[in-house]
Amino acid sequence: MQRRVRTRAIAAVSALGLMGVLGGCGGGGSSDVTLKLVAADYGDSAANSSEKYWADLVERYEADHPGVTVDVSVHSWTDVDREVKEMVDAGDPPDLAQIGAYADYAADGLLYQADDLLSIPVQADFLSQLASAGQVDGIQYGMPFASSTRVLFYNKELFAEAGLTPPKTWDDLAANAEALKAEGVKYPYALPLGPEEAQAETMQWLLSGEGGYTDLMGAYTIDSVENVETFNWLKNELVGKGLTGPVAPGELDRAEAFAAFAAGDVGMLNGHPSLMEMAEKKGVEYGMVPTPGADEESRSTLGVADWMMAFKKNGHRDEVGEFLDFVYSEENVLDFSREYDLLPVTNSASRAMSASGQDKDLEPFLDQLPTSELYPVGTTSWAAVSAEIKKRIGKAVAPGGSPAGVLGAIQAAATRAESAE
C-alpha cells in the first residue's frame, strides 16, 4: 500500500519580488519547483518507517531552499520497483527514484548522468567500488544510496552447548553443523535458496568457492568449474546430510531464515546488519565472523547496494542536483545508515562511522566492504538473470538435482538475455 509524505511548500519570493531561486527549470513565470521522489521503505514498522527519515530531511532542506518543494512517496520493497516502472511506462516518471536497480532506465536514455547533477566533492566521495557499480559503459548513472555486506552469524548459546568454535572453512562449517544437529538444533545451517533472495545466498557461496556470477570482463560464468564444485559440495555435504533443517533450501526464504535465527532455532547462517537488531530484540546472543571459504576464510564477500537515480523527463536538473548534494552530506548519510543498520556509501561517512564508538557493532560489516563484490547491476540483463537464479537454484541441491545441469540452464538463460540487449 502506498504511503505518502507531502512536505510543506515555502513561498519563493525574493526581497524585490523579482528573482526566484534555483531557476534550473528555465522559462518565465513562477519559479516554484516541486521535485517528486519515490523511495523504498527500510523500516519494519510504522515507528521506524522511512517516511520519518525523509520528512525530517525534506523539512530541513526546504527551510533553506525557498521555492523548492520535495514530494516523497514511500513504498514497501515489494512494490517500489513496480511503482516506478508503471510511472515510467505511463510517461510520467518521478524526478528521483530510490530503488533496487537503475541499468534498464540508463540504457533507455532516461536518466541524468551523475556528473550532470552532483558537485565534484560529493560525487568523488562515493566509495569507489559502489561508484563503479553505478556505471554503464563507464558513465555513472546509478548513485549508491545504501549498502551492506554479509558475514556468518552464529548462535553463541547453541555453540557453547555443543562445545564449538566459529568455522573458518567449509569443513569446519560442516563439522559444526553435524554437532548442532546431534544437539537437536532445528536448522544447523540455514540455507535460504527460496525465491525471495536466492541470488544473495547463491553469490555468497560462489564467492567463498572462488567463483562468482561473472569474470573480470563482466561475462557471465555461472556454470564455471568453481561454481559447480561449490554447489556439489553444498548438495552432498550439507543438504544431503540433513544439516540445513526441515524446510527444503529452495523453499526457504531469507526472511523466514532470519526469523528462525531470532527465535533461537538456527545455528549458523549468512546475514546482513539488520539481523543484529532482530536477534537482540528476541534476546539471542550471536557472534559474527567472516564467511568461511573452501580452504580458508573467504577472500571476498557479497556487497549489496540500493540506488538513487534522476529522470530527465521533467527537467529540474539544478534543483535535483542541489537536493542530492544535501542528501549525500556526511550528516545525512550517517543518520540514515545508523537508523537502519546499513553501511554508508560515502568515504566521509564511513570514516566517521569507523572512528565512532557508537557504531562498533557494524565494524565487521565495514571491514568487509572494501573487498566486497556486488551483483552485475550495470548490465541490463541482470534483472532477468537474477529472476532465473531465484526460480531455479534451489533445484541444484534438491534430491536428484544436478548442480551442473541447473547452473548450465541458468548460464544459457543469461547468454540469451545478453544477446537480447
**pLDDT, tens only, 119-164:** 999 999 999 989 999 999 899 999 999 999 999 999 999 999 999 9
Query: CA 410, CA 206: separation in Å to the nearest integer?
Result: 14
**pLDDT at res. 260:** 97
Instruction: Supply the pTM of this predicted model.
Output: 0.81
Q: The C-alpha cell of 74 is what? A: 514511500
Sites in the chain below the pLDDT cut of 50: 1-30
**By the 8 A CB rule, do 290 and 301 touch?**
yes
- Partnered with residue 303 across adjacent β-strands are 149, 374
- Cα pseudo-dihedral 20, 23, 28, 29, rounded to 10: -40
> What's the order of all strands across the beta sheet hosting 187-189?
187-189, 266-271, 151-155, 286-289
- Determine the pLDDT at residue 421: 67
Residue 268 is predicted with a pLDDT of 98
pLDDT at 253: 92
Residues 6 or more apart in contact with residue 87 via CB below 8 angstroms: 38, 93, 94
pLDDT given at position 79: 86
Return the pLDDT at 29.
Answer: 34
